[in-house]
């Protein structure tokens, strides 16, 4: 039997330092939390306040003037830094900075996905354009931020829309890296190939979107400190961020792995390409591979009750009773 579950809450080993951290955090929370909320809402409002006039009466889906594009990117970065600061991420650690993707020359960047703060964290480092699910449009900052950053929205379960989005993604990956020092037309795309959030214990299968083109992918990983489980896959989104609001400070690291250049076999077989990149991540991060699906996640989180729809991997390793509860946790 395996001792990990990508959807369960992770309980970290308690220490005296950890207990002191939370005691002080709870004592100060009546003052700290309201102040942080004010700063956070200001960060969200800032991008709307400055961004809307810049995008008035223009087609955001078409290439922008380089100056307008650069201003929008800076606005998003400033707003993201304010939001991260408001949630206690006073410093974003960048590891192997020498391998950080070239935003003008890289084809596409990929990362694992832990929680809703991942894009905000990456935006603060200059990665402003994402492939996101259609539902993100409804969220403050995230929806407008993805739109103004010229991201691509994908409607899950809609085959026609999915094919259109896939074509748009490939056009961006294959046709936007310019030669002779000419600025690219769009910001570099960032894709989360797992297509959903998981905790920091395993990697889900990588979807093919970032790999169909056969172009090199710029690899990076994001992971959080161990005061608590930062993932919003094991609890509602608001509860996950409430822990960040209360904790006096939080830690996040972006690790850059450099570019993965596919060989001829990987260029011909994008499933092989995706799986080999996933294996690279698994080896570097020390996280095992869990061949679970989004349907498994929805079953675990009680969003549907049809166990027969779950993957064989989920059935074999977790069983019918594996559903989100305070009793179903993973210890780290």
- CATH at residue 279: 3.40.1130
328 versus 226: which is more confidently predicted? Answer: 226
152-172 pLDDT, tens digit per residue, is: 999 877 777 778 888 899 989
Range of the domain at 22: 16-290
How is residue 93 annotated by DSSP?
E
Strand pairing report for 92-95 and 252-260:
parallel
| Helix (H) / strand (E) containing 50 | helix 16-54
- 239: tokens are 């509860």
Q: What is the pLDDT of residues 48-81, one digit of tens each?
A: 999 999 998 899 989 999 899 999 999 999 999 9
Whether 113 is in a domain gets the answer yes
Per the CB < 8 A criterion, the answer to whether 241 and 116 are in contact is yes
Number of domains in the chain: 1
Please name the residue that has the structure tokens 């085959």: 159
Rounded Cα distance between 124 and 122, Å, is 5
Tell me, yes or no, whether 249 lies in a domain.
yes
Its pTM stands at: 0.91
Residue 256 counted as domain residue: yes
pLDDT tens string 308-326: 999 999 999 988 988 876 5
Decide if 304 is inside a domain: no
């Amino acid at each position: 039997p395996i001792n990990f579950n990508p959807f369960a809450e992770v309980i970290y080993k308690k220490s005296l330092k950890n207990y002191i951290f939370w005691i002080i955090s709870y004592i100060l929370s009546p003052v700290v939390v309201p102040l942080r909320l004010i700063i956070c809402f200001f960060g969200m409002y800032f991008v709307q306040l400055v961004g809307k006039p810049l995008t008035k009466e223009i087609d955001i889906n078409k290439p922008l003037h380089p100056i307008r594009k650069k201003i929008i990117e800076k606005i998003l970065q400033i707003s993201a830094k304010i939001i991260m600061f408001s949630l206690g991420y006073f410093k974003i650690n960048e590891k192997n900075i020498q391998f950080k993707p070239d935003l003008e020359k890289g084809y596409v960047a990929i990362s694992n996905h832990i929680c809703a703060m991942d894009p905000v964290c990456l935006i603060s480092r200059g990665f402003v354009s994402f492939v996101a699910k259609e539902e993100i449009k409804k969220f403050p900052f995230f929806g407008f931020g993805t739109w103004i950053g010229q991201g691509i929205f994908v409607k899950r379960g809609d085959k026609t829309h999915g094919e259109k989005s896939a074509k748009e993604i490939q056009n961006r990956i294959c046709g936007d890296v310019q030669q002779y020092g000419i600025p690219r037309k769009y910001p570099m795309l960032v894709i989360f190939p797992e297509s959903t959030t998981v905790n920091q214990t395993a990697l889900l299968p990588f979807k093919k979107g970032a790999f169909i083109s056969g172009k090199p992918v710029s690899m990076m990983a994001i992971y959080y400190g161990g005061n608590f489980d930062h993932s919003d896959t094991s609890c509602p989104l608001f509860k996950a961020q409430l822990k960040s609001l209360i904790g006096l400070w939080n830690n996040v690291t972006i690790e850059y792995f450099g570019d993965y250049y596919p060989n001829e076999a990987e260029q011909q077989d994008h499933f092989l390409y995706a799986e080999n990149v996933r294996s690279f991540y698994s080896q570097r991060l020390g996280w095992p591979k869990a061949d679970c699906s989004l349907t498994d996640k929805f079953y675990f989180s009680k969003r549907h009750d049809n166990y027969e729809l779950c993957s064989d991997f989920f059935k074999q390793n977790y069983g019918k009773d594996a559903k989100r509860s305070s009793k179903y946790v993973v210890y780290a």
